[in-house]
Amino acid sequence: MEFLLFILLGFSISMLSGFFGIGGGLVLTPVLLLIGYTPIEAISTSLLYTIGTSMAGVYAHFKMKNIQWKAAIIIGASGVLATQVAYPVVSWLESNGYDSTVVPILYLALLSYFAYKMLKKGKGNDSAVAYDSSSNRQSFWKFILIGIIAGFLSTTLGVGGGFIIVPLLIAYYAFSSKQAVATSLAGVILIVSAGFITYAVNNPINFKVGLLLIAGAIIGAQLGARATSFFKNRSIQKLLGFLYIVTVFSLILEMAELSTFGLVALGSYTIFINIFLLTRLLKKKVQPSQ
């Protein structure tokens, strides 16, 4: 039963990963914390899982030509450097007993801010090609800054950094949601790989659970990526904003020692998104034959 549960969990979260470009750790880390994993165990398992979901998602987005490679490489490379700075910080927090408090509070602050950015009233950008990679208006050092922030938080929180990269690319770089999702996943592969290696060298890793999660993610991430073709950019932003809100709510419940309710809230939204995306995919597949 546990075998099937982790595969289904991997599939469900990876649907969100491919659709939102968040790597999967954003949802998986809180879930693992809610079911009793220590912060270090949750972070290392999430990083391993995020490598798998990101690679599957990138493959799908590559076929759809959504990835802005220059931005992805710059963000990924600078993020790798930041992961090496972050690990000693996490180790210090754990050794002093601060990890179980600081990690959730940092999550709450960041998720609340990005929920506001994604749900803030605006027109959104639904153009087919919103960002021009040859534009001189975009400064590469800003991509470097995004990579550093994403890399640091990736290792600190056990996420891919996509939950930061995606809203920043949309809000400050005029990326369409599809471009931001695809570019984020490509950059995240480099970031999480470096972070995971750092953890693997210094801590025991539960590879069995990680690989079961990845097995479910291989299909789910590609289905989620394909679903972006059937939604307007603004719709993707709103759904992502609500995901941030639900995650914040679930973590607040966990901190109030109501972890079961938090798990139900996060699980319910994940199931809702999965059903919503699968229904849309099936509808689009059936339409041409009618």
- The CA distance from 72 to 147, in Å, is 9
The radius of gyration of the chain's CA atoms, rounded to the nearest angstrom, is: 18
User: CA torsion angle for 46, 99, 251, 195 (degrees, to 10)?
Assistant: -20
Could you read off the pLDDT of 17-68 as tens digits, one per residue?
Answer: 788 877 677 678 777 877 777 777 887 888 888 888 888 888 888 888 888 8
Locate 76 and state its tokens.
């990924």
- The CA distance from 188 to 129, in Å, is 22
Predicted structure pTM score: 0.71
Q: Tell me which residue of 46, 164, 178, 56 sits closest to 113, measured CA to CA.
A: 164
pLDDT band at 74 (very low <50, low <70, confident <90, very high): very high
Could you read off the pLDDT of 158-186 as tens digits, one per residue?
Answer: 666 777 888 888 877 778 888 888 898 88
Q: What is the 3-state secondary structure (H, E, C) of 189-239?
A: HHHHHHHHHHHHHHCCCCHHHHHHHHHHHHHHHHHHHHHHHHCCHHHHHHH
Locate 116 and state its tokens.
């506001």
Could you read off the pLDDT of 191-213 as tens digits, one per residue?
Answer: 888 778 877 777 777 788 888 88
